[in-house]
Structure formats: C-alpha cells, structure tokens
Amino acid sequence: MKILDFITAINAMIGKAVSFLIWAGIVVLCYEVVARYGFGQPTLWAHGYTQRIFGSYFVLIGAYTLIQRDHVRVDILLNNRGPRSTAALDLLNYLFLVLWGLVLTREGWLFFLDAWQFNELDDSALAHPMWPPKLALFVGSLMITVQGIVEALRSFITIINPHITVEGDI
C-alpha cells in the first residue's frame, strides 16, 4: 500500500500547489475590471491569461479533487450499501475514469507535441504560445488517470477484504 499512498501524496502535493493558481486568476481579473471600468482602459491580454490560468487550474486540480472525494457522485446509490457493494460501484466508476483518462492523456500529449513542434500561437493580438495550456492538459489528465488507477486498486482491495484500511491519509 505504500506505493498507492506515495502516488496519492504526490498528487495531493501538486494539487495543493496548483490551488494557488486561483489567486493569480483573481488578481488578473480584478486588474482587468479596474482597468476597464475604473480607468476606461481595457487590456488586450487579461482575457487570454485568465482562460489559460483557470483552464490549467481546473485540469491540474482534478487528481486532488478525486483524492478529496469532491467529484460529482450519485450517493443515493451508495447510501444503503455495504463496503463491498460500494467498492464494486466505485471500481466500475474508476475503470471508466481510467479509460477516459488514457484517451485524454494520449490526446493531450499529441496536442502538446503539435503546439511545441509547430510553435502554435493563439489568435489573439499578442499571439501567445499554445504549448503551456496544452502541457497542463497532458499533465493534469495523466495525474487524474494515475490517481484513478490508485483508487481502482483500493476499491478492488476493499472488495476482496473490506476490513483492510486502504484509504490514504492526505
């Protein structure tokens, strides 16, 4: 179980670090609001930066959200079930998550490679490079896929022996 706890700890550490991106996005948005409505001088760059900051934030925080059990769940199906039944339904959900994550990770990698190799720029006036948000898509989807595998293994272990504690202490 140490490897599962180690992966969970790494994803939690990254998630906690990435959570501070929300403050960068808030600062940029506040600056834009003051510049636009306070001084009548809107920026060319704020909209694009907030898209990149919040997009990167949401994809990179996914594994941490999974660890915290904060993704949307249909708990009505789980409320009256025992630990094995709950673990079996969780395992089914995690298997779908891993399948989705593998496809998204592969596509994210291909998007990143294309943006990097061809020096892809956005279509704004400032023509920012597109590889950073595409790299965030790859890294975030990889993190949630790996955490999904960890959670699937924990669910499988619970199905076999519901008396073993396999939850990480993060």
Q: Could you give the C-alpha distances from 149 to 48, 68, 113, 157, 161, in angstroms and in order?
A: 34, 15, 25, 12, 18
Instruction: Please indicate, yes or no, whether the overall pTM of this predicted structure exceeds 0.95.
Output: no
Q: What is the pLDDT of residue 77?
A: 67
- pLDDT of the chain, 170 residues: tens digit per residue: 799 999 999 999 999 999 999 999 999 999 999 999 999 999 988 988 898 999 999 999 999 999 998 887 766 766 777 888 888 989 999 999 999 999 999 999 999 999 999 999 988 778 889 999 999 999 999 999 999 999 999 999 999 988 876 665 44
Q: What is the pLDDT of residue 162?
A: 82
pLDDT value, residue 56: 93
The pLDDT, as a whole number, for residue 48 is 87
Cβ burial of 117 (10 Å; 0-12, 13-18, 19+) is exposed
Residues 137 and 1: beta-carbon distance below 8 Å: no
- pLDDT number for residue 85: 87
pLDDT reported for residue 165: 67
Long-range contacts of 69-73 (CB under 8 A, 24+ apart): none
Nearest by Cα to 49 from 71, 30, 64, 34:
30
Residues ≥6 apart with Cβ < 8 Å to 44 = 124, 125, 126
Contact present, 9 and 1 (Cβ < 8 Å): no
